[in-house]
Amino acid sequence: MSPAKIRLSAQELEMVTNAALILTKNRIMEKALQLLGQVQQRQESFLKTYAGKLPDEVISSTPKISRGEQLQGLPYLVLDYPRVFTQDHFFAIRSLFWWGKFFSITLHLSGRYQALFKRAIADAYPHWSEKGWHLAGGGDPWQHDFRHNYYMPFARLDAAQLQQHLSGPFLKLALYWPLSEWDNAADHFDRAFRDLLTGLTG
C-alpha cells in the first residue's frame, strides 16, 4: 500500500509560498528582543536600589533572555531577572513576550523564598488587588496562560483562598497586557517590576 499523500490546505499553501510572512515574523522577533533588552537595563538599574532588602544572591544574579518557538506552539521571548533557580528554591521575575497571546510579568517563588515572602505578599493584598495582579499556587509551575483559570485575580480571592494559594508548592504573582500595547510595553514592564518589589518589601 502506497503512503497517503501529505497535502496542504489552501491556507497552508498560500502561507508556504509567502516568504514575506516569515521575514516579517523574524523582524518582529528581533524587535521583541530589543524591547526586552531595554526592559532588562531598566530592571538592573532599579534592582540595585533594593540591596539589603532582598537576599544577596537575588541582587547579584545575572539576567538571561531566552527564545523559543513552541510555547503552546507559538514563538516567545522571556527575560529572567532576577533569577535564582536551584532544585527546591526559586526566586525569579519573568518578563514574557508571547506571540499571538500577550505580554506578561511573573514573580515565581518556591522553597525558602516562598516562606520568606508569603507573609509580605498576604499583607500587601490591597496593593495587588488594586493593580490587577493574579495569583497561582498549584498545578503546573511552568504554565503561563491566563485563559485557563490557572491564575486567580487577587480581587476575587477570599481569605481562605489566599491562604490556600500561599501555602501551595510554589507561588506565582502575574500581570499581563495585550500585544496591542506594544508601544507602551517597556513602561508597563517597568511599573509592574517596581510594583512587585514594592509589594515584597513594603
Distance in angstroms (rounded) separating the CA atoms of residues 139 and 145: 12
Give the pLDDT score at 42: 98
Which residue type does 47 have?
Answer: L
Average pLDDT over residues 144-169: 87
| CA dihedral for 117, 122, 125, 131, sign (positive or negative) | positive
Average pLDDT, the chain: 95
Distance in angstroms (rounded) separating the CA atoms of residues 201 and 118: 11
> Mind listing the pLDDT tens digit for each residue in 6-17?
999 999 999 999
Which residue type does 95 have?
Answer: S
Q: Is the pLDDT of residue 149 over 80?
A: no
> Mind listing the pLDDT tens digit for each residue in 62-91?
999 999 999 999 999 999 999 999 989 999
CB of 137 closer than 8 Å to CB of 170 = yes
Phi/psi for 82 (5° steps) reads: -65, 165
Give the pLDDT score at 37: 98
3 confidence band (pLDDT: 50, 70, 90): confident
Give the pLDDT score at 145: 84
